[in-house]
Amino acid sequence: MKAAAAVERLWPGRGARWTALGGGITNHNFKVEVDGAAYVLRMGGQSTELLGIDRFIEQAAGRRAAEVGVGPEVHAFVEPEGWLVTRFIDGRPLTPEQVREPATIERVAAALRKVHGAASIPGRFDAHQVIEEYGRVVVIRGGRLPSGFDAAHVLSERIRAARGTQPAVPCHNDLLNANFLDDGQIRIVDWEYAGMGDRFFDLANLSVNHGFELAHDRKLLVAYFGEERPADLAALRVMRLMSDFREAMWGAVQTRISELAFDFEGYAAKHFERLQAAAADPEFEGYLTLCAASASTPIRTLSPPGS
């Protein structure tokens, strides 16, 4: 359905005005102004269920994020299409450079603590399983697995074995730069990949997507946990590879299903190259060994704020 028809269906006869919002490479997003209020109408792209997106889970996660003051208020969820209407946040986007500033790292860490400490949400996100499912989709859709898949999958299995079972908390799982806004507090939008998962995937996803170096990661861990432990740093650093592997395979799936004019093949290649470079870092094996050595210690959880 075209945007104009969708807006008229949702706000019939109310003279709603709409404009397209840029920045997305999966969905169609529109700002809708009506009756003195502003909303975002999110209409899913083609075959997004093959990316692991469940629109019911997205809206439930969005409501939970709003409850803890991180996500925008969910105004409506339209079935069966799965359209989502949220309050428009009049905030400024943050550049990766701004996110790397110590004060912003602290603010983002506080927002993630709220999300990870919230009540459960539907759905499960396991990066190791996600990349395998993406691989199956590529093959089923007539494609070939990218040349970097096999080597990256070996790394994935080593990381999975070293880290063992982790506690599941509400996670966003798509902490790209475009999903942050600042309206006086840090807001996180676009919860379509959310689910109960590993907090270290979120932390690593934030880190690698914003060009964090080792010093930034240490600041992030202190801001998030109140201290930096070697085992936490190791977990974050190895999960950066899992973030890039997921992103690379997401791009591979998009090459088979998307009709958008975007270089998904190049996107996948960039992330494979980045994870391969990280795996070649002399520190990687040490991080992996430390993850395995710490697997028998108590699983990391959050202490109450201020404790």
- Show pLDDT as tens, one digit a residue, over the chain (307 residues): 588 888 999 999 999 999 998 766 677 899 999 999 999 999 887 678 889 889 999 999 999 999 999 999 999 999 888 899 999 999 999 999 999 999 999 999 999 999 999 999 999 999 999 999 999 999 999 999 999 999 999 999 999 999 999 999 999 999 999 999 999 999 999 999 999 999 999 999 999 999 999 999 999 999 999 999 999 999 999 999 999 999 999 999 999 988 777 899 999 999 999 999 999 999 999 999 999 998 766 666 666 544 4
- Distance, in Å, from the CA atom of 25 to the CA atom of 34, rounded to the nearest integer, reads 26
What gap in Å lies between CA 105 and CA 81, rounded to an integer? 37
Q: What's the rounded Cα separation, in Å, for the pair 26 and 8?
A: 23
For tokens 């689910």, the residue is: 195
Distances (CA, A) of 300 to 19, 290, 292: 44, 14, 14
CATH 3.30.200.20 intervals, the chain: 3-87
Every domain of the chain with CATH number 3.90.1200.10 lies at 92-294
Return the sign of the alpha-carbon dihedral for residues 19, 65, 167, 223: positive
pTM of the model: 0.93
Q: What is the pLDDT of residue 307?
A: 43
Fold of 3-87: Phosphorylase Kinase; domain 1 (3.30.200)
**Would you identify the CATH topology of the domain 92-294?**
Aminoglycoside 3'-phosphotransferase; Chain: A, domain 2 (3.90.1200)
- pLDDT of 297 reads 67
